[in-house]
Amino acid sequence: MIRTVLVATDGSDEAMAAVRKAVELTLSLGAGAELHIVSVVSYADIPSALAKQPPNAPDLLAEQAQEALQLAAAAAFASGIPVQTHLATGEIVPSILTLAQAVGADLLVAGFRGRNRIVRLVMGSAVGTLVRSTTIPVMVVREPE
């Protein structure tokens, strides 16, 4: 039985479509269902020369992830369901799976495409890797065109 839903977001339109679907699904599960939202700050795809920042410089990736969480949480709150947000740091898929285990997720929800098309072409789809890396069911949501 599905009681705990974990949705990943990067703030993209596709990720927000996944958030909306996760909210809808969590509402349909009734009382006691839990929704968790995660955004992962990953420096793995950033060349080391670009990742170096002067002290006190803003961490733009962390800020973007935090904004994505706030946007997703607002969508959940607007539907009247409680939500727990999680900001993770590390490689995207292992970070999501570690959190999924920690919260006891019964279902993972992810958008079909993220923001960075170049990284996706070079490294492969994070969603594809997620699906291949877990035995937890994964709902892949594609934003309508």
CB-count burial class (<10 Å; 0-12, 13-18, 19+) for 47? exposed
What confidence score (pLDDT) does residue 28 get? 96
Q: What distance lies between CA 96 and its chain's CA centroid? A: 7
pTM of the model: 0.85
Which residue segments constitute the domains of the chain, with CATH numbers given? Answer: 4-141 (3.40.50.620)
Distance, CA of 74 to CA of 93 (rounded, Å): 24
CB-count burial class (<10 Å; 0-12, 13-18, 19+) for 11? buried
Tokens representing 132 are 């291949």
Q: What is the rounded average pLDDT of the residues 24-39? A: 96
Q: What distance lies between CA 141 and its chain's CA centroid? A: 12
**pLDDT digit string (tens) for 95-105?**
999 999 999 99
pLDDT confidence band for 119 (50 / 70 / 90) = very low
pLDDT confidence band for 123 (50 / 70 / 90) = very low
pLDDT at 127 > cutoff 60: yes
**pLDDT digit string (tens) for 41-74?**
987 766 555 555 656 655 788 899 999 999 999 9
